[in-house]
Structure formats: structure tokens, C-alpha cells
Chain A
Amino acid sequence: MLVSEKHGLTAEIESLAEKYGRTREALLPILQEIQMRHGYISEFAQQEIANFLDIHPVEVYGVVTFYAFLSRKPEGRYIVKLCQTIACDLADKEAIARAIERELNIKFGETTQDTKFTLQYINCMGMCDQGPAMLVNDDVYTHLTPHKAVEIIKSYK
């Protein structure tokens, strides 16, 4: 990371700490915003957050690793989260997964070379009556067919 980028991140974290408060309860909202803006929470960011909240960095690390929606490694700009739980599974989420994998030429768990897309499975996302379902970042898509799923992916390209 460049020095200027680091300064930028520090300033950003400082302003988030102002916004949410320099207390422990502010940790998750701060992490969520950094995750949303940068696609991950770097070691440097974890250190800085720990400094501002006056807690040990390992506490921050512990929280980041606990939650499925927080990550320590860079992810794609668009995170495709396909539901793998039973209602969507029975509605043939496999076919959706294969179609998307072929389209992007990566497997689930991977990120495209241009860092545009990351493919992930998630557990039941509360759309079981309309499966198969997926999220692309925060947007919900339901009643997927392989064809429809690919069209959705394309619309983000």
C-alpha cells in the first residue's frame, strides 16, 4: 500500500470513529463501512481501527474473522452470493452456480482476474419461497434460472 493511501485510510477511519463513536460498540458499524467501501479490511485498517477505539488489534481480527460478510482479503467489486441452503438447493441452485461459473470462468470461492466479481455461497437469505435466490452486493434476485442469472451478471459487467 502506498503511503498516501495509508494516510487516506487513516483519515477515513478517523472520520468513521467520529461518526460512530470511539467505543467498542462502534466496531461493527466501522468494519461494515470499510468493508463496503474497500471490499475488504486490510491488516493496516485493522490496526488503525484498533488504535482509534483503543482496543488490541487481535480483538479487531477476532471480529473480522467471525462474520461471514467481513473479509481480510480483497474481493471483487461485485460479490455474488448464491444461497446454498435447502429450499434453493432443491430449486436447483447447482444449475445456477454452474452457469455463472462458466460465464465468468472462475469457481465459487474465487475472484475474477479483473477483480470485478467474487463468487460465494451463503446460507439461507430469507427468500426460500422464491428460490433459487442470490445477492449481488446488497441487491436481491429471486426465481433464478441459469439464463436469468447470467443476464444479471452481465448487467454488472
Chain B
Amino acid sequence: MPIMNDTIQFNVGEHRLALEKALKLTPQDIVMEIREAGLKGRGGAGFPTGTKWLLALSAVAEKKFVICNADEGEPGTFKDRVLLDEYTNLVIDGMTIGGYAIQATEGIIYLRGEYKYLLNKLERFLDEKRENNQLGNNILGTGFNFDIKIRLGSGAYVCGEETALIESLEGHRGEARNRPPFPVNTGFMGYPTIVNNVETFASAAIIISKGADWFKKIGISKSYGTKLVSISGDCKKPGVYEVPFGISIRDLLKMVEADEAKAVQVGGASGQCVPESQFDRKISFEDLSTGGSVMIFNKSRDMLHILKNFMEFFVEESCGQCSPCRIGNKKLLEGIELIEQGKCSYTYLNELIELGKSMQLASKCGLGQSSPNPFISILTNFENEVFSTK
């Protein structure tokens, strides 16, 4: 199934010439256009793409790499699957444009093992691009060389974190690295590397195709363009939608016909749980930031059960490298079990929330820094249901 309403910016037919157009520009022009468009990383972290590319372009090295992070593992996210499957050209052109912009010759798609069934199709597509001279040596006669290979993940959520992903590509356990140094200077095999989300590459191709000004017509102040959201849970029309930044939760719910919603989890397991009283909040980097996951829970759902499912997820997926995350997530899960048994005191609950806040500060990578989010937001926003009445 394609994107349900790909008519705002993701209309593929319109962006066929993105690559051709890009190769007529200088790498500097491309980076400037991306910066001008204010494109921010679509994977969730929201780092300015143009800045990342500029740093990699300025880095001096004999080799550079472009990595497409297709390790879409955040619960409730599946828009990258749809992009890779149905909007392949946009993604591949985006990567190639990124390669040209930072002057790299090699690209790697890190595809999550769960999506292995897409592998053959993607390989065939890359072959086609090579035959059409849009990949490989002397692309479109411009003298630019760039090729892409695909590497598979093996079932580890933490590899979605860019330095863990690089570790994995280098043949190691997917354990996050200390930053700095950042991948733009010291990335894959020690070479300057940009790691971007699938959607970010597609958006970059769209910007080059249509220009920064056109791109910025959609969205709100610091969040330009559109976002692909993956909507699941209690609604009549789940799926992937293209929405303008700034859309409210209420409007999203209307769009997918969710009548009975009492809570919306924005940003996946590591995101925020938004109660009905806050449905006017907006999808944007300033307010509710999301890599694309939106999960809807209706009035019949047990929020404690949902929270427990999230915390079990984090206990399993923590790489175990640092103690705030390795031990903290276990403690939070045990806390939930105590609440279930009606044995958790108020004092202890507050201690757990404090623990969560320490994890947000002290964990080494995004996993442990964000895993307390559902715990804190569900226990704060649904205290009555989850805690007081147990």
C-alpha cells in the first residue's frame, strides 16, 4: 500500500529529474539549498541535514560514505518500509545527491533484517539504476562516480542509533559510541560519513527537485515541509500519511477516523503519550517531535498494560553497555509490576520518576535517554487510571 495521500510533496512523478538537476549544481549549491530549506532529520532526532552535509563536505579525506538508515525499528513506525518499497527512486536519488553533495563515492543502505523480503526488489532496482547510468561510474556523463550496496541488520533496535549502526556495519556488536567524534568526521571505517534516515534522503531529493522556497511553503516556522506519519492502533484507516508539519493531533485523528481515542502515543515507544486534553498539540520539532510513529489508544485500553509492553521492549533492546539504561529500564519495569500488584507506594513511584529523569540525562545513547519517556508521560497523564485506582 502506498502513502495514503502522497499529493503534497511526495508526488513521485514530479521529482523524476531531481538527480539530473542536482548534478548540474555544485556540491556547495546543493548543501546551501538543503540548508536554505531548513530540512531536519526525519528519523526523530531532527538534526539539521544541511549542517550535517556541510560538515561532511568540509572534511578532508580520501574516502567518504553515505549511509541510509533503513533500520526502522521504533514501534509503530513503518513509513520507511513504504518509501523503500514504493518510492525507491526518490530514496536512491536522495542518497546519490547526498553522495555528490559531500563528494562520496560509496553508499550503504542498512536495511533492518525484518525487511529482508524487500532485498531482492531493491537489488534489482539498483541494477536498473546502473543500467540507466544513474548509479555507478560517470553518472549521467558528469564524471561523478557513486554506487550503493545493501547490508542487512540482524534484529537489534539500538542499531537505529547512528554510531551503533556504524559499529554493526564494521562487524561489531551494535553498541553506541561516545560522541564526539561525530560520524561526519570519523564515521564508517574512520572516514567522514553522513547517516540519514530514508525519509530524509527522499526529502532532500524533493528539495533539489522543486527548490527550497517551494518546500518551505508547507509547514510551520521551524518545521518546514511535510512529514510521513505511520498511524496504527484504534482507528478505521491506519497507514502511512503525508501531513504538513503543524497538524494537530485532533486533525490527525479525524483524518484516520479514530472516534474513541483517549491517548495518542507520538514518537513510538520512546515518545510521548498525549492525553485527550492535549489533542490540540501539534506535530512539529517544537512541540510533538516524531520519527513518524503515531499510535492511537481508545477508551477501552488499559494504559498500564500498554506501558508494560513498552518497558518490556526496552529491557530487551537495551544494549547493556551503560548502567543507567541497563539497570534503569529493569527497575522501571519492576515498578510497573508492583503497581499491577497494588504494592507500589507513592514515595516509590516518585523515586522511579526521578530515576527516569536521571536516565534521560545519564544514558549514553538515545535509547536510554528516551526510554523513560512513556513511563513518565503515562504515569503523569494517566495517574488516576494507572496508579490511584489500583
Known: A90-B301, A127-B78. A28 touches B316 (CB 8 A): no
| Contacting pair A128 B230 (CB below 8 A) | yes
In the bound complex, residues from chain B placing their C-beta under 8 Å from that of A138 are 116-117
Count contacts between A and B, CB distance < 8 Å. Answer: 115
Asked if A105 is an interface residue, CB under 8 A from chain B, the answer is no
Min distance, Cβ A70 to any Cβ of chain B, angstroms: 6
Count contacts on B: residues with CB < 8 A to the other chain: 50
Interface centre among B116, B174, B238, B319 (most CB of A within 10 A): B116
Q: Which residues on A sit within 8 Å (CB–CB) of B319?
A: 66
Q: Is A114 an interface position by the 8 A CB rule? A: no
A87 within 8 A of B: yes
**Which of A28, A68, A70, A85 is the one whose CB lies under 8 Å from B171?**
A28
| Stretch in contact with the other chain, from B154-162, B201-209, B278-286, B337-345 | B154-162
C-alpha gap A154/B170 in the complex (Å):
39
Given contacts A67-B154, A123-B75, whether A27 and B171 have CB atoms under 8 Å apart is: yes
Q: Do A87 and B295 touch (CB < 8 A)? A: yes
A113 to chain B, nearest CB (A): 26
In the complex, A63 has a CB within 8 A of chain B:
yes
Q: Which residues A116-137 have CB closer than 8 A to chain B?
A: 122-131, 135
The smallest C-beta distance from B384 to any residue of chain A, in angstroms, reads 21
Q: How close is B107's CB to chain A, nearest CB, in angstroms?
A: 15
A86 and B295 form a contact (CB under 8 A): yes
Q: Tell me the bound Cα distance from A157 to B232 in angstroms.
A: 32
Beta-carbon contact of A28 and B151 below 8 Å: yes
Interface residues of B in 109-155 (CB under 8 A from A): 112-117, 151-155
Q: B233 within 8 Å of A by Cβ?
A: yes
Task: Provide the bound-state CA to CA distance between A127 and B230, in Å.
Answer: 10
Asked whether any CB of chain B lies closer than 8 Å to the CB of A153, the reply is no
- Interface positions, chain A 85-125, Cβ under 8 Å from B, are 85-87, 89-90, 122-125
Closest B residue to A35 using CB positions: B154
Task: Give per-residue flags for B281-294: 1 if the beta carbon is below 8 A from chain A beta carbons, else 0.
Answer: 00000000000000
Q: Does A25 contact B154, Cβ atoms closer than 8 Å?
A: no
Complex contact A85–B309 (CB within 8 A): yes
Q: Is B8 an interface residue, CB under 8 A from the partner?
A: no
Partner of A124, one of B73, B152, B189: B73
Contact B170 A86 (CB under 8 A): no
Q: Determine whether the beta carbon of B114 is less than 8 Å from that of A135.
A: yes
B113, A86: Cβ atoms closer than 8 Å: no
Inter-chain contacts of A5 with B (CB < 8 A): none
Cβ of A129 and Cβ of B316 under 8 Å apart?
Answer: no
Q: Is there an interface contact between A68 and B154, defined as CB atoms closer than 8 Å?
A: yes
B30 at interface, CB cutoff 8 A: no
The yes or no answer to A44 lying at the interface (CB within 8 A) is: no
A-B pairs with beta carbons under 8 Å apart, 8 shown = A28-B169, A68-B155, A90-B234, A123-B317, A124-B313, A126-B73, A126-B78, A128-B78
Please name 8 further chain A to chain B contacts, defined as beta carbons within 8 Å, in addition to the given A63-B171, A130-B238, sorted by A numbering: A67-B174, A86-B76, A123-B157, A125-B114, A126-B77, A126-B112, A128-B238, A129-B239
Interface residues of A (CB under 8 A from B): 23-29, 31-32, 62-63, 66-70, 84-87, 89-90, 122-131, 135, 138-140
Residues of B participating in the A interface, judged by any CB pair closer than 8 Å: 72-78, 80-81, 112-117, 151-157, 168-174, 189, 230-234, 238-240, 265, 269, 295, 297, 301, 306, 309-310, 313, 316-317, 319
